[in-house]
Structure formats: structure tokens, C-alpha cells
A and B are shown apart, each in its own frame.
Chain A
Amino acid sequence: MRPAFAVILALTSVFSACRRAPAPSIAELDSVPWDSVVVRAHGTTVTWLMWRGDPSINRYVDDWVAPRLKHQYDITLNPVDAQGPSILNYLSVERQAGSGAGTADLVWINGETFYNLKTSGLLAGPWSGRLPNARYVDSSSTIISRDFGQAPAGYESPWGTVQFALIYDTVATPHPPRTVADLKTWIRAHPGRFTYDQSFTGVTFMKVLMYALDGGVEHFQGPFDESRYREGSARVWQWLTDVRPYLWRHGQTYPDGVADLHRLFANGEIAFTMSDNQNDVVTKVRQGILPPTARPLLLRDGTIANAHYLGIAWNAPNPAGAMVVANFLLSPAAQLEKQKPDVWADGTVLAMSRLPAVWAARFNALVADPHALPRDSLMKYARPEVAPEYSERLERDWRVRVREAPEH
């Protein structure tokens, strides 16, 4: 056999082996009873694109969720590391490749990622209303029912809630600032002891500043408004430029992500770190990453609370399996386990009033960790997200207006 022909034949065989039988679509699954969806999911593998950067979350997924899915539904869970932007790139590339069935089923998303995936037609749906456990969801909460101001419209199922918080050390900083104005004063009085990251959490911090400096979250409700953005962001740039000489490394460089920020805090280089999850401090103290005296801090101007969700890829090879996994993750048992301080400490999306009494009692009996913030404080200072374009613009403009701006 000629070598060239042999190579072509081998490649053809490989590509042929990669072709799969078409999976039932979400629309087809919509017309069958839930039990049939579960039957179709039996014995399958669900590939889940999710952030794998936190050992607590990984342990919950790998050691608690996966064995139960296998035992109860004979579903093999295959978590694959991917974050919001990379999920969008992943699914976009698959669509450009023009293949029928893709490789990912479930995606862990929210905010801008949901907005970009949905507007690009990369999400399957609607489907989340079909989940039996959806009846327990706290749909009266605007934090859960609106994803960065957008209606999920059945294209994603809520999974958990978080709230932005600063983290400080009660020994090193016994009297931390409580407002955005106080924070500015504190930063100027303590040169080199504060910074923020240039990633997702840093953008949330900028949104907290924008709400506080320009009339509260109400001012930014509704669709993206260019003039409101310009006005609000101008105040943010001014605030950040004013404090820049007093930041860690004089604001000449910024930590790449929140993990770097935590490291600087743990090493004592800075006095504050921050997190999109107010309970991050709980798990990080238990892991020994943060000192035992670390505590979360909510600024009284309000801090951003949001929910995170599960979506199904537009070309999911196993949408039935993805729906069963999403339903399992919404179950009271899975939500309770996830909320335990020694597991992940991620807030539930279920309404206690809608749960069977026995489950509501179990949630209420969860012992609050001494590092966690009380529920009434969280609710008091929680502010919803606004249209995703605000985050996109803040991220882009910060690079030019602050990071790359010449120092004065």
C-alpha cells in the first residue's frame, strides 16, 4: 500500500470513529415525561465544563456528587476545567468546526458568560422549568431570578448564591473601614497595604464602587445606558486614580486574579483581600490558606450579590444526562451539603418556605461558622447585578484609564 494512501485511510478511520449518533434535542426531551428523561440518562457520561480552581468545590463535586450520580442514575460525571470566557471560546470553536454533536453537556456560568452564550446561540433551551426540583427554587429573589439583570428564560438553572465581601485580619486591622469613603481614607493612611485584582473579582469591586459613588444600584437598573455608564465610571476612575499611589506597589502592577490577592494577604503584604463569595473566608481558613483571624467585611454602601447557574451546551451530546445532573444538584440534599461550612459554604437557591419541613429544619440547623457573616447582614447590604455590558466596559476601560495610564 502506498504510504500516503495508508495515512489518509488512517485519518479517515479516526474521523469516522469520532462521528456519533445524533442525541435527542432539548425540544424532543420536552415532549417526554421526566421519568423517560431519567431513563435516557441512565448509563451515560455527562461532561461538565466548570471552574476547577477551588479544592473545596472539587471535593464536593468529585467525592459527594459524582458517586451519588453513579449510584442513583448510573451517570458518570466528567468535570472538565473551563471558566466563563474559555467556555465561550470552547463552544464557539466547536460551532465553527461545524460538528454535529459537541463534547460538553453541562456548563457552569453566570452573568456575561450567560449573556454572550445566549446571544451567540450557544445554549440549548428552554429546559430548566422541566426539572422536578425547580419547584423549590426561591424565584421571588431578584438575586436568583435575574442573572445580571437578564431573565434566565429557562436556559439556565440556578445552582448557588454568593455575595462580594472584603476579607481582613482582625488582629492586623482591628478597626477596618466600613464604607467606600472610609476605605479611601484608610488606603491613603496605609500606603502599600491595599490592592485589587485585575480579573473577575476586581471588576465586581469596581461595580461596588460605581454603585456607591453614583447613586446606588437603582441608578443602573434596566438595560445598559451609555451616559449613565460614562458618568458612573468617571467617578470610579477618579477614585481609583486618587488611591493609586497608595496601593500595593504604587498601583504599578496588580494581582492577576483573586488567588494572587489571597496569597499577598496570607503573606502579610496587604491588609485586605476580597472574594465574590462571602464564605470564601470560611473554607480558606479551614484549608489553612488564610489566617484563622481572617473575617469577611461588607461595606455599608452595599455589596454585590449574584447567583451562579448551570446551562446546557447548544450541541450537548447528552442533554438528558445534563438535565438529570442539574436536577440532582438542585435537590435539597445536594444544596444542603454544598452549603455546609466545612464543604463549600455556597449559599442555597432554594426557598425554605417551599421545602418540605424536614429539609427546611436541616437547613436552619446548619451551624453558622464563626467566620461567616450573619444572614440578616448579608440581606441588608446585598445589591443585585446590573446589565452585563457594565462589567464588560469596566473591565476594558480600566485597562486604559487606570492600568496603562501614566503615573502622576
Chain B
Amino acid sequence: MTKGEDRRAYPALLGALLVAMPVLLGIAYAAAGAVGVTGIATTGFNFTRIVRVLAERAVWRSVAWSIWVAGAATVISVGAAGCSTFLFAGRTVVDRAARALAIVPLAVPYVVAGALGLLILGQSGFLARLLHEWGWITTPRNMPVLVNDRYGIGVILTLAWKEFPFLALIGFSLLATRGPALEETARTLGASRRATLLRVTWPLLWRGLLPAATAVFIFSMGNYEVVALLAPSDPLPLPMLTLERYNALELASRGDAYVLTLVGLLMGLIAVGVHEWTRQHSEVFNQ
């Protein structure tokens, strides 16, 4: 890069810094709060709060639950997006209509998705009433527990439904921009339809979807609106536990939220690290 190009890059760098600044300041503030030097209920510099919070069983159950739910929602949404991409990659009217319909949930706000999950999957919800009407269950109350349940079934289904169109959109774009040339070549060389799908289309699609899947996982871990409506109170999802501590009646507990914020951030960084490692080491990418 020349000196002139260097100079022209400064405004862009400054812009990027301004965009990143609130996040960086937030992390610095949370870190300072975690060691007791700022924020609510300051204690003076020490690691007591960090040690105490990290020693809590409830915190690690919360982390494990959030990882499970985000992981399951991500796997389901990636699987569904991949299938949709393969099935509706053509140029027929049906394919186009399916692609258009698949991205409809993208426009639904998360809080509305959570409310829909509650209205459909709840024990007094639409599904329970429908199954009761059909005689599959004796009363709506006999409906299997799908919301506020310990396994997070309602949260997983709702998040998967909400994240699926984002991933499908990326999948459709990937195939559309790349074109059918590689598949056609494979078929010409004698590859079966199945082999073409597994050896050509899927690896290319996976490469493009992986960053988006990582983003979906991190976002699902930090989502508040859906878990606030559909998650159980024990284990409490990490975002809810963080907010619960931040709003605790007891002032001393509020500082715990800074530590939990850093824990959430660490989980996100680990996910990014896993993504980078996978990108560099996976056989798929070395092909």
C-alpha cells in the first residue's frame, strides 16, 4: 500500500473505530465492574466477585443450557436451510415461490416469534387445543410440555424457525452466484445425483454457511426476547441470569452481572475460535 493509499484509509479506520468503540468501551466497563472498581456496588479492586460467581453451580448450568439450546437451534436451522437450498435451487415457479416463502420469518421480530411460540406450543396453546379437538389428548393440559421446559424444546424450535430464513437466504445466494457449472461438470463426468450433492454442492455450501452458522449460534446464545417468554426458570438462560442479577433487589448482587457479561462474551469468542480452527483444519476446506 502506498503512502497516499495509507492516508485515504485513515477515515475508514476511524469510522471502524467509532463503530467498534461502544463495544470496546462496554467490554472495558464490564471488566472494570467485574473486578469491583466501577459500576453498581463497587467493592474496590479485587477478584472476589469473579471467584464467587464462577464458583456458582447455577452459573455453569446456565451456560451449559444456553450452549445446548443455541447449538441445537443452529444445527436444526442449518440442516433446514441446507435442505431448502438443495430442494428449491431451480428456476421453476414452485422453486421461486418456495424461496420467497422461506425468507418470510426474517421479517418477524424476535419478541413476536417468542409470543407465537407460546401461543402455538403452550399447554393452553393452539397445538394443544387442536390435538384435544382431534381426540389425541384428553385435555389440553395433557399436552407434552414444550414451553418453559427444562430441555428448551420451545426455545430451540422458535429460534431454529427464526434463524432458518437467514441461513436459507445465504444458501440461495451462494448457489445463485456460483451457478450450476460445477454440478453439471460432475454429472457429465459420470457422478451420480447423490454423489454430486455430497461431493460438490454440500462442501461448497457448507464453506459459505459456516460463518453465518457461527453468527447464528452466538446470536442464539445471547438472545433475550425468545428465552424471556419460553425458557424455564431453572436452569435460567445466561442472558436472563445476567439481567436478573443486574436488577436484583439486593444491591450487592448487581455487580455479578458484569462477570456474567464477560462469561457470555467469552462463549462468543470461543465460538469464533472454533469457527476459525474448523475453517483452517477441516478437510472440507482443504479440498
User: Which positions in A face B, CB cutoff 8 Å?
Assistant: 3-4, 7, 83, 85-86, 88-89, 92, 96, 112, 116, 120, 192, 198, 203, 249, 252-254, 256, 264, 267-269, 388, 391-393, 395-396, 399-400, 403-404
Q: Is B249 in the interface zone, CB < 8 Å from A?
A: yes
Name B150's closest neighbour in chain A (CB-CB): A252
Give 3 nearest A-B pairs by CB, closest first: A267-B124, A85-B247, A253-B232
User: Which positions in B face A, CB cutoff 8 Å?
Assistant: 10-11, 14, 18, 38-40, 57-58, 61, 122-124, 141, 145, 148-150, 228, 232-234, 246-251, 253-254
Name A8's closest neighbour in chain B (CB-CB): B14
Q: A393's contact among B232, B250, B251, by CB below 8 Å, is which?
A: B250
Collect the chain A residues with CB atoms within 8 Å of residue B58's CB.
399-400, 404
B250 touches A92 (CB 8 A): no
Given known A-B contacts A89-B40, A96-B38, A399-B58, A249 and B145 have beta carbons under 8 A apart: yes
Given known A-B contacts A89-B40, A192-B141, A253-B233, A7 and B18 have beta carbons under 8 A apart: yes
Collect the chain B residues with CB atoms within 8 Å of residue A392's CB.
248-250
Collect the chain A residues with CB atoms within 8 Å of residue B40's CB.
88-89, 92
A3 touches B251 (CB 8 A): no
Smallest Cβ distance from A187 to chain B, in angstroms? 16
Q: Can you pick out 23 interface pairs between chain A and chain B where the beta carbons lie within 8 Å of each other? A: A83-B247, A85-B246, A85-B247, A86-B247, A89-B40, A89-B246, A89-B247, A92-B39, A203-B249, A249-B148, A252-B232, A252-B234, A253-B232, A254-B233, A264-B124, A267-B122, A391-B249, A395-B249, A396-B249, A396-B250, A399-B58, A400-B58, A404-B61
Collect the chain A residues with CB atoms within 8 Å of residue B123's CB.
269
Smallest Cβ distance from B12 to chain A, in angstroms? 9
In the assembled complex, the Cα of A403 lies from the Cα of B244 at a distance in Å of 14
In the assembled complex, the Cα of A253 lies from the Cα of B145 at a distance in Å of 11
* A contacts with B: majority SS: helix
Collect the chain B residues with CB atoms within 8 Å of residue A116's CB.
251
Collect the chain A residues with CB atoms within 8 Å of residue B57's CB.
404
Collect the chain A residues with CB atoms within 8 Å of residue B150's CB.
252-253
Collect the chain B residues with CB atoms within 8 Å of residue A399's CB.
58
In the assembled complex, the Cα of A395 lies from the Cα of B244 at a distance in Å of 11
Q: B234's contact among A4, A388, A404, by CB below 8 Å, is which?
A: A404
A268 touches B233 (CB 8 A): no
In the assembled complex, the Cα of A203 lies from the Cα of B123 at a distance in Å of 26
